Chains A and B, each alone.
Chain A
Amino acid sequence: GAVVSQHPSRVICKSGTSVKIECRSLDFQATTMFWYRQFPKQSLMLMATSNEGSKATYEQGVEKDKFLINHASLTLSTLTVTSAHPEDSSFYICSAREDGGEETQYFGPGTRLLVL
């Protein structure tokens, strides 16, 4: 089956530092990936659509300069949380849609970010 990995799985950082999260499709190519944020006991909130070779499309209310997305290859998208603050602490989940496949999104295991 289609597998998506994320790294790191957990990260603790100091306020003001930047954190990079990687999302990889392991056995398929994905021109399109998605980044979500999930607060405890809540549903997923779509942050942005990551497009290989072009700029990401951000959802309303999501700061593009705060959450930098780079989709440099057909199997890798990165999310960088810049100048992180405690309110950025959350569970970040990526998903990937297989090129030429159906609309199904395959999700990564998530990254737990804690900003002190």
Chain B
Amino acid sequence: GNSVTQMEGPVTLSEEAFLTINCTYTATGYPSLFWYVQYPGEGLQLLLKATKADDKGSNKGFEATYRKETTSFHLEKGSVQVSDSAVYFCARSSSNTGKLIFGQGTTLQVKP
């Protein structure tokens, strides 16, 4: 089927720790891939994206590389801050409908 799977949370880290949130997808063709972030009580904000294989999206210290061979788009950050605490959603585009297919979301808690 066509789906997006994220690692289960919550992920709890200390400030300045290294972050990885895994995301894998299934799809026919080559969708665009996205990471969105949702802070408490707010809507989603686009964090980064990649539109083709081997592209690396990056923003605010976060990175993710479009890996066609492993159908993955893992989110990484070298040193997290308390302000990074939020829910992170991985998503892929649907080729002919314009819709986004979301993963279930991963909650990140960063403690001082």
Q: Is the CB of A104 within 8 A of B46?
A: yes
Encoded as 1 (CB less than 8 Å from any B CB) or 0, chain A from 7 to 43 comes to 0000000000000000000000000101000000111
Contact among B43, B98, B102 for A32, CB-based, below 8 A: B98
Q: Is the CB of B46 within 8 A of A106?
A: yes
Assign chain A's interface to a size class: 20 to 34
Residue of B nearest to A6 (CB): B43
Q: Is the CB of A49 within 8 A of B43?
A: no
Q: Is the CB of B45 within 8 A of A107?
A: yes
Provide the residues of chain A in CB contact with B97, threshold 8 Å: 49
A103 CB-CB contact with B under 8 Å: yes
- Cα separation A32 to B99 with both chains bound (whole Å): 10
Given contacts A34-B99, A95-B100, 5 further A-B contacts (CB under 8 A): A41-B107, A42-B104, A49-B97, A49-B99, A112-B41
Query: A residues engaging B (CB < 8 A)?
Result: 4, 6, 32, 34, 41-44, 46, 49, 93, 95, 97, 102-110, 112
